[in-house]
Structure 1
């Protein structure tokens, strides 16, 4: 019986080992593929060209120092060609010695020259080699560090916001999100253009480069774990495909889509969008209001620009406000969300605010504290 149990346990352990090995190999392959399409924000450092020039200058300095050391004791060296060592011979000896070529035509013959080679020139040779291979080692280290950062980011990213498209609409959406208190490390940009990825990286945002209509690109942005998705693409047909793909990957996320034409709103909602904002009609209405009453248009623009003058904010009802009329609030209440219904301030059901209500208020903009890194 014991032999049978032992033999039956072997396939189980072997299967478990294979599954763990396959999983680790799959994760490593996914991280490698993600490393080619995901850009992580980096702190400002020394530019690559400046690093190369600095290493080159340091290498030339080591070469010049070695040349001077050899020439200072040139009588202790022998040149097989003519027996004497001049300055050019000293530079030649320093070059072939530091590069570990070592032709052997110039050799140290005195005890002093050999001792200097042991204590001084050999450490300089090691330093010179470190300078030469330093750039390659730094590139390999940066790649490994980048893959580790991407792996950690993928494991930790949950309940974040995915913004598809980092054009004018996408950038203003991110600015509004940050103004509402969402930190930049909880925002992920997806864009097909490398220029947009560079702009997002400069703004401190993680970017996935690729076509957002493809499910593998959205998976790299961890859209399956996102709480909200903003689709700010340039074309309505692209927005419909992105919305459909995002909804397939994440049925629970709130998806907000920007559309150019009103006629495409039903299609986008059928694709899975919770809210559709039509940019062309909104701009047209604002133009009409500006013509009739420029001050009203200015007020609307002020309300839509977070942190400037007046802010239109949605928040929960406080304990002090519960049971009180909306007018008793310190902020101007213009609407209330109750049981998923939007009630304006003229609705007779808004005699008293209730616990669990969410109020939409107009209040004076306040300066926000600087965002922590």
Structure 2
């Protein structure tokens, strides 16, 4: 409970002060006790108190009277108690600082990356999204409020932040200004609208994919900056129907989505600036004989052209959708980069 955690935090902050007060009290009582019982001077009494409390085993200055021996026994017990108290305070301080050190280490790791994807929400849908991002080799940061889910991510060594993704400060900690994309996948459409709006304001260039439970929210999400909106229930319903009506089309869709159960996949490769003039057509790229790839479509200025011709003109910024094995697609991407 928050109030209980706050109470424990306050008492933990007081412990060093209480320890210092306890030690000073023991030294004061010991010095006064030896002065009154044994008639020692202040320095001798303090010396006797310190060697007794610390249990270092030095001999006493003068043989002790029975009263002095009893007092010494009590002082030894108080001294041992002080050591246990000090050990407990030190151990609790170390344990209390572990999460802070881990959080600093995590933040340093997040601050060191760029062109990553921020996944907001790690529920059932977010769990699947994270798995797909990991399988594709993308760098990503998960933002989640639930402490148990964050702990599970930390065990997997996943970059994550515990916080409210609708808060701009949390998005900044996740590096939204440096991110190449944001996925708003929390449970409510209102929160996803907030995340989309904040992300678009903080990074006008990044791609934003948002989840919508209610189809009526799609237009709102696009209006505040979403690049694409996905409605899971509608998408799932269509998939169920198509798996029965057109199973072959579903297999092709799996290829396009890069399903890991298929050896062949379809992927989009963006042509960079400075592409040589002799490679500004499909025949110039020579995808088939050079890389073993098939050109499926070309996306240019928002228009998608399927089954492009061999002499299809290409320019920097066009997205070429190619089909083939992962290793061949990676080789093509590396050559034109």
TM over 0.5: yes
1 CA distance for matches of 2:106 and 2:246? Answer: 51
From 117, 120, 125, the counterpart of 1:169:
125
Name the TM-score, length of structure 2 as normaliser.
0.61
User: Gapped runs of 5+ residues in structure 2?
Assistant: 1-62, 328-337
2 CA distance for matches of 1:80 and 1:157? Answer: 71
Q: Specify the alignment match of 1:334 in structure 2.
A: 296
Q: Is the 8 A contact 1:312 1:362 kept in 2?
A: yes
1 CA distance for matches of 2:180 and 2:325? Answer: 29
Deviation of 1:153 (Å): 4.5
Deviation of 1:326 (Å): 5.8
Name the TM-score, length of structure 1 as normaliser.
0.56
User: Gapped runs of 5+ residues in structure 1?
Assistant: 1-76, 84-89, 101-124, 367-373
- Give the 5 Å matches for 1:1-373: 80=66, 98-99=80-81, 131-139=87-95, 141-142=97-98, 145-146=101-102, 148-149=104-105, 152-153=108-109, 155-183=111-139, 187-301=140-254, 303-309=256-262, 310-316=264-270, 323-324=284-285, 328=289, 330-345=292-307, 347-348=308-309, 350-352=310-312, 354=314, 356=316, 357-364=318-325
2 CA distance for matches of 1:278 and 1:291? Answer: 21
SS at structure 2 position matched to 1:260 = coil
1 CA distance for matches of 2:205 and 2:322? Answer: 27
Q: Specify the alignment match of 1:25 in structure 2.
A: none
Query: Would you say how many aligned residue pairs link Structure 1 and Structure 2?
Result: 260
Q: Is the 8 A contact 1:322 1:353 kept in 2?
A: no
Deviations 1:202-246, CA, capped at 9 Å, x for gaps: 332233333322333323333233221111122323222221122
Deviation of 1:272 (Å): 0.4
Deviation of 1:135 (Å): 0.9
SS at structure 1 position matched to 2:172 = helix
1 CA distance for matches of 2:287 and 2:238? Answer: 29
Deviation of 1:249 (Å): 2.2
1 CA distance for matches of 2:110 and 2:253? Answer: 39
Deviation of 1:290 (Å): 1.3
* Greater length-normalized contact order (CA 8 Å, ≥ 6 residues apart): 1
Aligned-residue CA RMSD (Å): 4.0
The change in CA–CA distance for 1:322 and 1:80 in structure 2 (over 3 A counts) is farther
1 CA distance for matches of 2:320 and 2:237? Answer: 28
